[in-house]
């Protein structure tokens, strides 16, 4: 088991990447704390883990609130004694997120509060806990749009993921000598509810698919496998990366300087 005796805290664990990662981490031996605002679905994630014989607990946490993030980390330490892995995965992509002209300030603020401030708060309270455990791994969900920009306008989301990538790089440098690794997981377009609700017409879907060399959307389970590598000791010399799992999209469009 690749995460035997590890404790992992995963935000946004009620669905998509978060749920698939929680299930996979538990199968690999981790005790999982699933955090979300969707309590019913979050508890369902825990029930699925327990059904497979794994160990998990649920905690309600709105990652845009400092008090909730502090409490979820405290819950992890109280419940399982330590924290080794923090997966700051919770995020939103709002249907009303468009270009700079059309996007309302409220949509911008909501997106930044969850996608950026949520990662900041997770690290603010999670990194000291990982330090107390003797080190570990922080994984922050960014996106391929942090590198490329998006074919379908989503200005707040794209800006937020750029911020997550930059934040991850700086944290990696700051904590490199403390046995704390920080990496940004950068998924390509995925066949998850989050993206499919945004790409709500066939035209929008095709505008994405035409750019992906593999010709398909990624799956949440594929992101979970990437997160497992970053969480495990197999990536012990990996920190500060933009870990691209994108079906080749950035390779097709990013040219070396």
Is residue 158 within a helix (H) or strand (E), and if so which, with residue range? helix 155-175
Give strand ranges (E) for the chain. 7-11, 31-36, 55-60, 85-88, 136-141, 180-187, 242-245
Instruction: Give the domain extent around 189.
Output: 7-236
The answer to the question of residue 195 being in a domain is yes
What are the phi and psi torsion angles at 223 (to 5°)? -70, -35
Residue 144: strand, helix, or coil: coil
For the chain, the domain total comes to 1
Annotated catalytic residue, options 58, 80, 125, 157: 157
Whole-angstrom distance, CA of residue 5 vs CA of residue 140: 22
- Burial zone of 26 (CB within 10 Å; 0-12 exposed, 13-18 middle, 19+ buried): buried
The answer to the question of residue 256 being in a domain is no
pLDDT at 256: 62
pLDDT at 28: 98
Residue numbers in the chain where pLDDT is lower than 50: none
Torsion angle, alpha carbons of 230, 242, 169, 9, to 10: -30
The answer to the question of residue 1 being in a domain is no
The answer to the question of residue 248 being in a domain is no
The answer to the question of residue 252 being in a domain is no
For the chain, the straight-line distance linking the first and the last C-alpha, in angstroms and rounded, comes to: 41
The answer to the question of residue 255 being in a domain is no
Whole-angstrom distance, CA of residue 199 vs CA of residue 3: 35
The answer to the question of residue 209 being in a domain is yes
CB atoms within 10 A of CB 250: 18
User: Active-site residue 157, yes or no?
Assistant: yes
The CATH number of the domain holding residue 93 is 3.40.50.720
Which residues, other chains included, contact 180 with Cβ-Cβ below 8 Å and sequence gap of 6+? Answer: 127, 130, 131, 135, 136, 137, 138
Q: Are 231 and 22 in contact (CB under 8 A)?
A: no
- Burial zone of 131 (CB within 10 Å; 0-12 exposed, 13-18 middle, 19+ buried): middle
């Amino acid at each position: 088991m690749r995460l035997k005796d590890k404790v992992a805290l995963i935000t946004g664990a009620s669905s998509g990447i978060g749920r698939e990662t929680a299930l996979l981490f538990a199968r690999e031996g981790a005790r999982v704390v699933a955090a979300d605002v969707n309590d019913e679905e979050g508890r369902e994630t825990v029930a699925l883990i327990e059904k497979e014989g794994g160990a998990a607990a649920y905690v309600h946490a709105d990652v845009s609130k400092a008090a909730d993030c502090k409490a979820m980390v405290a819950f992890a330490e109280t419940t399982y004694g330590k924290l080794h892995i923090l997966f700051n995965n919770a995020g939103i992509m709002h249907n009303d997120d468009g270009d700079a002209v059309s996007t309302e300030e409220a949509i911008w603020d909501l997106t930044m509060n969850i996608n950026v401030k949520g990662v900041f708060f997770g690290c603010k309270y999670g990194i000291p806990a990982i330090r107390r455990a003797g080190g570990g791994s922080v994984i922050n969900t960014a996106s391929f749009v942090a590198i490329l920009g998006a074919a379908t306008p989503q200005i707040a989301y794209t800006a937020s993921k750029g911020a997550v990538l930059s934040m991850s790089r700086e944290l990696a440098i700051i904590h490199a000598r403390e046995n704390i690794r920080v990496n940004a997981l950068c998924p390509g377009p995925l066949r998850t509810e989050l993206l499919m609700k945004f790409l709500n017409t066939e035209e929008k879907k095709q505008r994405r698919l035409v750019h992906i060399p593999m010709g398909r959307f990624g799956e949440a389970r594929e992101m979970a496998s990437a997160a497992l590598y970053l969480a495990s000791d197999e990536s012990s010399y990996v920190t500060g990366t933009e870990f691209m799992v994108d079906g080749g999209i950035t390779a097709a469009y990013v040219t070396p300087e």
